[in-house]
Each structure stands twice: as structure tokens, then as C-alpha cells.
Structure 1
Amino acid sequence: MPAALKNPSPRVMGRLRLASQGLLAGGFPSVADAVRWMTAMQAQDLGHALWAVGQRVPGTRASDVRAALDAGTVVRSWPMRGTLHLLAPEDLRWILGITSDRLMSMVAGRHRELGITQDDISHCRDIAVKTTEVLKATEGAHGATREQLFQAFEEAGQSTTAQRGIHLLGSLCQRAWLVQGPMAASSGKAGVQQLFVPFEEWIPESRDVGREEGIAELLFRYLRSHGPATIKDFSWWSQVPLTEARAALTTLHDRLVEVPLDGTSYWLSPETAVLLDDGVPGSRSLLALPGFDEYLLGYQDRSLVLAPEYAERVVPGKNGVFKRIIVSGGEVVGTWARTVSGKSVGVAPEPFEGQLGTAAGRSFEAQGRAYLKFMAG
């Protein structure tokens, strides 16, 4: 192992993560390429997810990401942790094959409280498929909205109150019977919801990957796109049990590089590790990343890039809602917000300490202009 790999600083490790995630240099050539490389990108807030992609694909606009969702070259679903992510369509089914059983076991108690049985889920599958067929035949619709499905469920005697409807829809997606498809228009404008479509109709071709092979591929792709990261980071991110994750790691040692830091093993791709030979770039970089970005949320332990004393500045009250973050040289140094004054929209930095320096302030202003241009497109 080269000497440079033995004791990198946390800031250097953070910049390696920026490089792995396509946030330094040229990024990725297309929306689909970026999402496929990242494997799964947190996307419970669609607006934030659009900018997460935009930061990794220079020259794109929000409309380009929406167009990818409309075309099905990117899909948005619940592949892990019960949280929406962006994925390549061919990856969704085999990842669900690894993760869905554990998630369904975790929500089994809540399903009992809501009176949801396996027969109810099967019944709602039939209702959903029929509803989408009717809408396609009568309105030319490419799927059904959540409200339309809930109405159909209610009319068939399936209550949707008290989150029962959400859990029913989630279960249909976990079983790869439904998937979110094209964007749903709202008053002639681009909305934030998507239509639900029968899985096989929207994703006619899926890869067939066995569990052991799939876990190994998922682990490799995670470390390639998120490294340096730990095996515990991966287990948390994917919800793959540690025992299986560690077994998969033993099959990948010749394809990865290990970096020890403070007694913990971090793993990354050789292509990213080689950056240490000439000095990791990005020491003067400044990025205005969205809330819920994989750069911070893609890890169980976020202290490598976010000092613990500032964690609640990013997630006030630990309420699970992550603010937009400012990343300087691989370190989270503040948050930022979108501002509205009359018809004027802008952005404002909220550094953890003092004010941004002159150069950093100019970089943030450039990032703000890029964000506003991206979201307006």
C-alpha cells in the first residue's frame, strides 16, 4: 500500500468522496449515467433530488431530469430503507430482491395495526392494474395518480385512511407490481408527483441477479461511487445484514483499496485511490449541495465530513429533514437556503462560523446562480 494511503486527513477523505460521486472535475455525461453510477440517489424531496443530479451533470436543467423520469431512463422508487431513491430502471427489480423482504418484515407490525393482510395487498394490486388500464383506455393516461388509486381502493372497500393507503401503495412497489412512472402534470405545470404504472409495463426488461452475486455487486458499486466508506456505512445504506456484507467484501478485495483511519477500514476504488499519488484535487472547491444529498446521507457515520457539534445545524431538532449544505474542500461548513422576496428568488449562505471568505463567497454566489438557472430550466 502506498504511504499516502496510510494516514489521509478527514478533509482529504471527504474530497475523495467528492471525486467518487462525480462532484469534482467533469462529472457525468448524462442524467442516466450519473444515476446509474451512483446506483441509488436519495430522492424523497424531488426538488432536492433534481439538483443533486444537476450538480453531477454539468450543463443540465431540472427539465432534463424530469424528462429522464418521463422517458423511464431513470426511475424513482423505494429500493431501500423505505425511502425514495433515483435508480436506473434495470437495477430496481434485483435490488428489491435483496432488500424488500427485510423492509416488509420491519413494517409487519404496522401493517397489523392498520389491518393490512397479504390478501389486501393482492386485492389492491388487481385494483391498481385495472384502474391504470381504464385510465389508459378512456383518457390516454400513462398511469394513475396516488389520489386516483386511493379512490379506487376506497370504492373497492380498501380503506386508505391513517396511512393505510400509503402502506398499500408502498407494498405494491416493494413487490415490483407497481412503479412510479412519468411526472403528473399539475394545472399545466410540472408537478412534484408521479403517476403509478404497472411495473412490467414501465420496466419491460430487468436484470436477473442472485442474492449473493447481487449483494457483491451492490457493495462494489456503492464503494466505487461513495468510497472511501466502511462496511457499516454500506450495511446501513442498503440494509443488507452485516454478516452478508462482510462475506461479499471478501470476494472484492482485489477490486478495492483499503484506507485505514483511526483504526477503521475505509474502502474505495483504485481509480479514486490513485488521486492520492499527486494530491487529491478540490481543496479550494465549494459546492452548494441540496438537502438529502448522497454526499452526506449516503453514510451511517457522517462525522468524517460534518463535525458532530454542527450536526443539528443541518438537521434541526434531529427531525429527519436535512437542510441544504455548503461543502468547502470536502468539509460541510454551513447550510444555505432559497430565499423569496416578492417576485425575486435568491439563495443565502448560513455558514457555521462567521462569514464566508471573499473567495468562498464568490464561489457560493456562482453556485447560487447555477442553482437558480438549473431550477428555472
Structure 2
Amino acid sequence: MTTTGTTLTRRALNRATLARQFLLRRVDLPVTEVVTRLAGLQAQTTHTWYVGLQNRIEGFDPHAVGRMLTDGELVRVTLMRSTLHLVTPEDMAWLRATVQAVIDRDLTHSGHGRTTRELDLDAVVAVGRELLARRPLTPTDLGARLAERWPDVPDRDLAYVVRCRLPVVQVPPRGVWGASGPPALAPADTWTGRTLDARPDPATLITRYLAAFGPASVRDVQTWSGLTRLREVVDRLRDRLIVLRGEDGAELLDLPDAPRPDPDTPAPARFLYDFDNLLRGHADRSRVISAEDLRRICARNGMPPATVLVDGEVSAAWKVVRTRAATAVEVVPFRPLTSAETDEVTAEGLRLLRFLEPDRDGHEIRVLDTP
């Protein structure tokens, strides 16, 4: 590993991460390539993650992504931090094995684990797989069928065992733009026709993470993935990485040829969705949001607000307000915006509304007063 002696300012870290997240400019690349280079896109909500792709891809067509889900070119599967992510089947194959320990820990330490710890979990998974191979089932239906075999265990807990121990995908029409459907599950390998890798590959996970989120610390990659004890893996990769420093002196790892733009590179306004990668990728999120504003968006119910980037930093929250006459985006700034910033936010907000409501007139952007 090469120690460069270079110290990166907070702004330099910001621009490096935005460049890798395709948030400095939209790119004209296939959706599958963008999702791959992002190391997946968090997608536990049904549709809000489409905004994340709209922010990053020029001329983005959400209906094409819906067809990719239907055709199995993209899948929504439980991965990092035991949350649903949008990935390609190729990445799903090795990522699931790599983060399986995180998902097992989720099961063990959740309420579901307390009621199922005395069960033969392999037997539950085997029966669950057999049921799902016949046809996709919702967790409710799956749990009810499993309870016929294990009547003393709550249905939802039995279904959660299968969700954690068996790689399953949420099948369409769930997640398809403009459509709706229950969260039905199918075995990932039979749905995609791809055998999942049995061996974890944490080294690839770390390098792919740095390509998408770096420069970053070991703690950052552990927070993003949910894995622990990755420092020893990093030590084995040292001849392939470089070491930089943050303003606080912390060690930051990076790939030698990864983009690190000039800190003065302009960063356009962007409307992030509620679970955007940018706010889920680091233990220390100060490169994109201040400590005060981070406290603003930490929702106790687990549903954070959608936010707005201004000059590369989270500076406002936003939501869609619909009436019979019009559709509006309300923006609540966390700080006073300049007139130029307000104009930029308004223009990007109108672009967002044209994406969300292309067939509706009366689009409006309301930038409210700072609280």
C-alpha cells in the first residue's frame, strides 16, 4: 500500500464521492452498468429508488427498468445491512454469500430469532424453498404455509427465517414503475437461472465499495456492508490501495486510479430519494451533511425524509404535494439559500416533477422559509 501523505479536505472528499456516485453530472450509460458501478442501489421502498437513477442517468426511462426487473436483468434482493438492494444477477451471486453473515446476525438478534432459535432452521428453509419454487408467495402466505408444519411458531417469524437464510428476490409487479403488487418472493437462483456463489469474497466487496464510495475508512465500509473485522482483509489488499488522510488525520483508503476531482468542481442541485446511497455509504457522513442537519433527518420511525443537495451538501428536505389542480414539490431549506441556489433548486425540482408526473400540468416548486 502506498502512503501518499495527501490530506483531503471535507470538500475534496465530497467531490470524490459525488463523482463516483454519478452526482456531479448525469451519465449516458446502461442502467445495469450504473447499478454495477454503484455497488447496488438501496431499494427497500417500492418506487422511490427510481429517483436515484433519474438523478444519475441522462434520458432515464423508468419503464425500461421495470422491464429489466420483469426479465430478470435486475433484481431486488436482501444484501448489505440486511436491506433490499437493486443489483444485477451477476453481483447478487457473490454479494449474497459475502454479506450472509450480516443477514444471519439480523435473524439472530431480531424478535424473529427469539421464537425460532430452537427450530431446525435448515428444515424450515428447505420447506420454504420447496413452496416458493412452485410459485412466488408473499411473506404472509409463506408464513401461513410454514405454520402448517410448525404450528407453535408465529407465521411471520417462520417467513423471516426463509427470507434471511434463503436468497429470495421480490418479484414483479412489485417495484415496477407505474405498477403495483404484493411483496411476493421467489428463490433467487431459480428466478434468475444463476447459481449463487457459495464462498464469500470480502476483498472484491472492499474494492467495489471504494470505487463507488471512496476514499473511505475501514469503518466506513463496515457501516455500509454491515460486516465486521474487515481490517485484516484490507491488510491483505494493501499493495493494491493507497492511503490518504482526512482533515482529522484519519486513514482513508482508495484505489490508485479512482477519480478525485478538484474540490472546486461545480456540484449541481440534486433531489435525493429517502434511502439514497449517498447517505447510507459511510460511518462518517460529514462529507455530505453536517452533524446538525444529520440530526434533522434521523427519523425515529426509520423513514428518513427525501433531501436536496445544494453545492454537493444536504441542504434541504423535499416532498411531493398533490392536489386535483396541480402537483408541487415543497422544499424546506436547512439554511437560507441564495437567489442563484433557489433558481437552481427550482429548475431541478421542475425536472423531477416532469419525471414523476409527465402527463400532468400545473407543476410547481415551493421553496419555503428556513425553519
Q: TM-score, normalised by structure 2?
A: 0.84
1:228 is aligned, of 215, 222, 227, to 215
Distance 1:115-1:257 versus aligned 2 partners, 3 A rule: closer
Partner residue, 1:179: 169
Identity of aligned residues (%): 25
Deviations 1:178-230 (A, max 9, x none): 322222499x960164431122211222463743xx10100000011011221
Q: Secondary structure at the match of 2:321?
A: strand
C-alpha separation in 1, matches of 2:72 and 2:185: 12
Quote the Cα distance in structure 1 between the aligned partners of 2:19 and 2:45: 24
Does 1:241 find its partner at 2:228? yes
CA distance in 2, matches of 1:185, 1:268: 34
Which segment drifts farther, 229-238 or 118-127? 118-127
2:251 to 236, 256, 265: 265
Structure 1 residues 91-113: Cα deviation after superposition (integer angstroms, max 9, x where no partner): 22422222223432443253453
Q: Deviations over 1:282-307 (max 9, x none)?
A: 43421111111111111112122211
Moved more, 84-93 or 13-22: 84-93
Note closer, same or farther for the CA distance 1:11–1:284 as it changes in structure 2 (3 Å cut): same
Report the Cα distance in structure 1 between the residues aligned to 2:237 and 2:124, rounded to whole angstroms: 43
Question: 5 Å matches for 1:1-377?
Answer: 6-27=6-27, 29-109=29-109, 110-115=111-116, 117-119=118-120, 122-123=123-124, 125-127=126-128, 129-130=130-131, 133=134, 135=135, 143-155=136-148, 158=151, 161=154, 164-165=155-156, 167-184=157-174, 190-191=179-180, 193-206=182-195, 208=197, 210-211=199-200, 214-242=201-229, 245-261=230-246, 262-275=248-261, 279-280=262-263, 282-316=265-299, 318-354=300-336, 356-376=337-357
Superposition misfits of 4+ residues, deviation over 6 angstroms: none
The Cα shift of 1:2 comes to: 11
Contact 1:257 1:273 in 2 (8 A): no
Q: Once the 2 structures are TM-superposed, how far is the Cα of residue 126 of structure 1 from its aligned partner?
A: 2.4
Distance (Å, rounded) in 1 between the aligned partners of 2:328 and 2:3: 46
CA distance in 1, matches of 2:178, 2:311: 38
Q: Which has the higher helix share?
A: 1
The size of the alignment, in residue pairs, is 355
Please state how far the C-alpha of 1:131 moved relative to its aligned partner. Answer: 5.6
Relative to structure 1, the CA distance from residue 116 to residue 345 in structure 2 (aligned partners, 3 Å threshold; closer, same or farther) is farther
Q: Call closer, same or farther: CA 1:189–1:157 in 2, change over 3 Å.
A: farther
Q: 1:350 is paired with a residue of what secondary structure?
A: strand
Distance 1:274 1:128, change over 3 A: closer
Deviation at 1:116, TM superposition (A): 5.6
Q: Indicate if the aligned counterparts of 2:70 and 2:172 stay in contact, CA closer than 8 A.
A: yes
SS of residue paired to 2:245: strand
Task: Note the alpha carbon deviations across 1:38-81, whole angstroms, 9 max, x for none.
Answer: 12322222322121122122211332332222121111111132
What amino acid is aligned across from residue 220 of structure 2 in structure 1? D
Judge conservation of contact 2:308–2:318 (CA < 8 Å) in 1.
Answer: yes
Q: Cα–Cα, structure 1 residues 206 and 51, in superposed 2: closer, same or farther, change >3 Å? A: farther
Counterpart of 1:138 in structure 2 is: none
Amino acid at match of 1:66: G
d(CA) in 2 for partners of 1:114, 1:335: 39
CA contact (8 A) 1:53 1:65 kept: no
Cα shift at 1:264: 0.6
**Counterparts of 1:367 and 1:292 in 2: how far apart (Å)?**
19
* SS of 1:46 mapped into structure 2: coil
Indicate how the Cα distance of structure 1 residues 372 and 98 shifts in structure 2: closer, same or farther if over 3 A, else same: same
The one-letter amino acid of 1:375's match is: L
How far apart in 1 are the matches of 2:152 and 2:54? 39
Q: Aligned-pair distance for 1:128?
A: 5.3
**CA deviation map 1:119-165 (0-9, x unaligned):** 366346425533652x5xxxxxxx3334443443355555785xx52
Instruction: Give 1:225's aligned amino acid.
Output: A
Structure 1's unaligned 5+ residue stretches are 136-142
Superposition RMSD in Å: 3.0
Q: Distance in 1 between matches of 2:13 and 2:182?
A: 36
CA shift, 1:309, in A, is 1.3
TM-score (normalised: structure 1): 0.83
Question: d(CA) in 2 for partners of 1:281 and 1:65?
Answer: 34
Alpha-carbon distance in structure 2 between the residues aligned to 1:305 and 1:114: 40
Q: Aligned in 2, Cα 1:11/1:129: closer, same or farther, shift over 3 Å?
A: same
Q: Name the SS of the counterpart of 2:49 in structure 1.
A: helix
How far apart, in 1, do the equivalents of 2:152 and 2:273 lie?
36
